[in-house]
Homo-oligomer: A and B are copies of this chain.
Amino acid sequence: MRISDLGEFNLIERLAAILAGGEVQPAGGAVGLGIGDDAAVLAVPEGREVVATADALVEEVHFRRDWTGPGDLGWKALAVNVSDVGAMGAAPLAALICAALPPELEVEWVEALYQGLRECAAAYGCPVVGGDTVRSAGGIMLSVTALGSLPAGRAVIRAGARTADLLCVTGTLGDSAAGLALLHAGETPQSRPEYAPLFAAHRRPRPPVAAALALAGTGVRGMLDLSDGLASDLQRLAAASGTGARVEEERLPISFLARRAADELGVMPEEWALRGGEDYEYLFTVPPERFPSLPPLLGPLGVTATIIGEVRREGLVLAQADGTETTLPPPGFAHFGNTGRR
């Protein structure tokens, strides 16, 4: 059944029911009033500030319907914003979803999209409390706003890195790029089940938000989430902090599966780690004496932290295993952008 057959009012009723099913408790506050009034009402515990971020996803620009299922798209649309909330050291509070949908779209597809949104909302304690569902004259467009809360004055900003800080990342880098490369090569989770974690990293990224909150609590200095690739995002961190950085290539945390896929596809896995993008891990800096306290903190959360280099006074360089240093070039791929925030 198409949206135009069901009717818009009925569609909206169905979507609201999906979002409301089994109440999602926000991690960083409480919902006073959800979907159904002029605006949602959110209670923020005393002494906490609010963070807010938004991203837009456009069909044929950011995703293709034949490559991305609706459930994965819904998950990812919210997950990338929750990732930004975590990057400030904030706990998710609520999300608002605007969706422009062509009338000929299948209702089942839209329902699966909202189920994916809801699954992510439940996984991160970020209930969807409002939004807008409108007709599109072209393809699908989604925009998601995510809100979070954190102790007042404790936001972890990009500008916080200091010379001689250790440069660290959570998790592994390049898994999402490996999954995308496999899709480009015509593979699927069905054809190559052994690569399931790589496909999943691309389709249902799981930013380690709990780890970001734990890191924020220990006094890490600069932090951002890795969305455009380490080379590009490190440049942002360094520019904001007025520093440089040195990355040691051999320290880049690359998973066994990503290495295997790279080997099979004849590419360098370090390229994925540096420029693949969509890792949704956290890049952060910490004074050397503080680092030993991190693994015991992150371990119980199932998250690793790897030192990949250090913050320098100036210059962005990549050091090879043999000691040669090359300038970290700007990324080859540029998004159409982002009002300076991603």
Contacts and interface: CB of A to CB of B under 8 A. Distances in A.
**Size band of the A side of the interface?**
35 or more
A143 B100 CA distance: 10
A88 B36 CA distance: 12
A325 to B, nearest CB: 26
List the number of copies, as a whole number. Answer: 2
A57 B143 CA distance: 12
Interface stretch (A89-97, A174-182, A184-192): A89-97
A85 B130 CA distance: 13
Interface stretch (A66-74, A131-139, A267-275): A131-139
A39 B96 contact: no
Interface string A9-32: 101110110010000000000001
A38 B225 contact: yes
Interface string A116-155: 0000000000000111111111110101011110101101
A22 B267 CA distance: 49
Interface string A278-292: 000000000000000
A49 B38 contact: no
A88 B39 CA distance: 7
Contacts of A337: 8-9, 11-12, 133-134
Interface string A153-165: 1010111000000
Interface of A: 8-9, 11-13, 15-16, 19, 32-33, 35-44, 46, 49-62, 84-85, 87-88, 90, 94, 96-100, 103, 129-139, 141, 143, 145-148, 150, 152-153, 155, 157-159, 224-225, 240, 334-342
17 contacts: A8-B335, A12-B337, A33-B157, A35-B339, A35-B340, A37-B157, A37-B240, A38-B84, A38-B85, A52-B94, A52-B130, A52-B145, A58-B134, A58-B137, A60-B137, A61-B137, A136-B141
